[in-house]
Structure 1
Amino acid sequence: DATITGIKQRLPALTARLNHKFADNLTVSARAMGNEKRVNEDEKTAWGVGLGAKYDVVPGTTLKADYYHVKGDSSFVSYANTGVITAANGDLLQSEFDSISVGLTQQFNDKLRGTLGYGYMNFSNDQDYVNALIASTPADATQSNATKANKDLWQAWANVFYSPTKPLSFGLEYVYGEREALGAATNGSTKGKDNRINAVAIYNF
């Protein structure tokens, strides 16, 4: 966010996390974030709160869930709209969103595991924010900046990871998702889809 035209942040983000283990198979966490955003003399605080839980259903089967509410930042949650932008009059505007994610991981054996997951994000449809996105779109752009930003989106995914030796892991993942943009594309549609297969190789140092 600090590199957006006219926007500065003088201090690093302040983050905090508290974990509590209720039982051998249940851990709950609370998280918070705060950061200063400034454009000229206009200063606002970006902030976020989150709750998470991890529950071992049976040995080898783990259920995880997370919830976040964030205003004015896009650094800590994937696929978030730009946290802060400047309006035509120079005012600093902040995005605001809620997100949830749930995932079920199964450890089949020492070398093979798989996960099923679902995530949803909903952004506050602030008209001043949308207008600023439209106004900041270059004249030669093929689509508005508002079309690139999301009103809401969801994704579901399934993956498997195989670890033949301790430092190496190979993964294969299928992802499907849909989005609604804050602004319509040239064809008048605000809808979009994501349908892909990912492959990855990981070396843990």
Structure 2
Amino acid sequence: MSIADIKKTLEQKAARSIEAFKSDLQKIRTGRAHPGLLDQVQVEYYGAMVPISQVANVSLLDARTISVQPWEKGLGPKIEKAIRDSGLGLNPAAQGDLLRVPMPALTEERRKDLTKIVRSTGEDAKVAVRNLRRDANEQAKKLLKDKEITEDDERRSLDEVQKLTDRTIAEIDHLVQGKEAEILAV
């Protein structure tokens, strides 16, 4: 393993951390409806738990309403129950085969709670990036100990790792601020 390999691995893992964080942010709801909100909701389908998107069409009716159209007749009540029990605070209404999922307006208190959740999720993402930095630095120090690189190479490697970590954390902070602004917008 070389310094270039360490740096490349760190960049890839940092990019995956950012993508995972963005995915987590999408699950935190704002006042607007979006089909991705139901991605983590699982419904029983022939004895197996599967995401709603694999057993129904999930789309938007308007800015505040998600529609769920099951592919099979008997799935409507199961999907309705799964959405109710998901902990998202949603209350679907059946209209024949179609389920309408209206988004309730967020109260000021709930908005503040959601911003705390966003900050906490952002802090978890930063911890993950710092752990990646620690691992990369340990690998560089191991190369130095094994006399595969010089002290100057190790110092340069540590500096590059720190710069990449700083950039990644700044991006996470930017995403947190954007999501907070989105939540607090009435």
Band of TM-score, shorter chain: under 0.3
TM-score by length of 2: 0.23
Structure showing the higher helix proportion among its residues: 2
Structure showing the higher strand proportion among its residues: 1
Q: Which has the higher contact order (CA 8 A, sep 6+)?
A: 2
TM-score by length of 1: 0.21
